């Protein structure tokens, strides 16, 4: 893949989780979360931007979210479950992006807040439309999806270097 070819990052926060008496890592999706994840998958399919690789947190709610989202896509991307995405900081997320193989043109990250929201707002270029920027900075509720684009190598991705291509959040508040 040429360094001049735009790369895409799909940042997806897990869908609404239930609160049963289980460890946080084992929390499943709520009924609302299953509806949100399916809707997020349909929206992503409509954009036509399908990742080559998905890195998904190992938590139950992120795995369930990704399964429902991926079911709506025309082709299922290669998926890797990543313990490092559970409770990932911005630095952890940037390291995961830098480690992405050069042949990957589109990468999906399925994880948790506050990291997912911080990643989106950190990568946003100053050239992004002000309305989109305000929407992105307002919050990143469950099942929110942001699509970012940048040109260059994964290892060269830096703050304020990506354009916001699309943003979708569920209609119900988180």
Q: DSSP label at 105?
A: S
> What pLDDT was estimated at residue 1?
60
Question: How many residues in the chain?
Answer: 174
The predicted pLDDT at position 174 comes to: 47
Range 34-38 average pLDDT: 97
Q: What sign results for the dihedral spanned by CA atoms 45, 49, 52, 54? A: negative
The architecture in CATH of the region 6-168 reads 3-Layer(aba) Sandwich (3.40)
Do residues 45 and 75 lie in contact, with contact meaning Cβ atoms separated by under 8 Å? no
pLDDT score, position 4: 73
What is the DSSP secondary structure assignment for residue 88, as one 8-state letter? -
CA distances from 101 to 30, 48, 52 (A): 34, 22, 11
Q: Quick one: pLDDT at residue 138?
A: 80
Is the predicted pLDDT of residue 152 greater than 60, yes or no?
yes
pLDDT single digits (tens) 107-132: 999 999 999 999 999 999 877 667 76
Burial of 75 (0-12, 13-18, 19+ CB in 10 A): exposed
Instruction: Write the DSSP assignment of 36-59 as a string of letters.
Output: HHHHHHHHHHHHT---SEEEEESS
Question: What are the structure tokens assigned to 95, written together?
Answer: 């390291």
CA–CA distance, 155 with 138 (Å, rounded to integer): 28
The number of beta carbons lying within 10 Å of the beta carbon of residue 137 is: 12
CB environment 6-44: b (16+ within 10 A), e (fewer): ebbbbbbbbbbbeeeeeeeeebbbbebbbbbbbbbbebb
């Amino acid at each position: 893949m040429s360094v001049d070819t735009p790369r895409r990052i799909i940042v997806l926060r897990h869908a609404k989780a239930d609160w049963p008496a289980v460890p946080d890592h084992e929390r499943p999706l709520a009924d609302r979360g299953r509806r949100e994840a399916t809707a997020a998958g349909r929206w992503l399919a409509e954009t036509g931007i399908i990742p080559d690789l998905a890195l998904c947190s190992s938590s139950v709610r992120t795995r369930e979210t990704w399964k429902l989202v991926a079911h709506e896509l025309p082709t299922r991307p290669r998926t890797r479950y990543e313990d490092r995405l559970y409770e990932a900081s911005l630095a952890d997320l940037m390291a995961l992006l830098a480690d992405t193989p050069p042949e990957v043109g589109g990468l999906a990250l399925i994880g948790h807040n506050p990291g997912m929201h911080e990643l989106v707002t950190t990568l946003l270029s100053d050239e992004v439309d002000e309305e989109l920027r305000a929407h992105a900075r307002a919050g990143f509720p469950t099942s929110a999806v942001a699509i970012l684009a940048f040109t260059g190598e994964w290892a060269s991705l830096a703050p304020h270097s990506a354009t916001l291509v699309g943003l979708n959040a569920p209609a119900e508040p988180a």
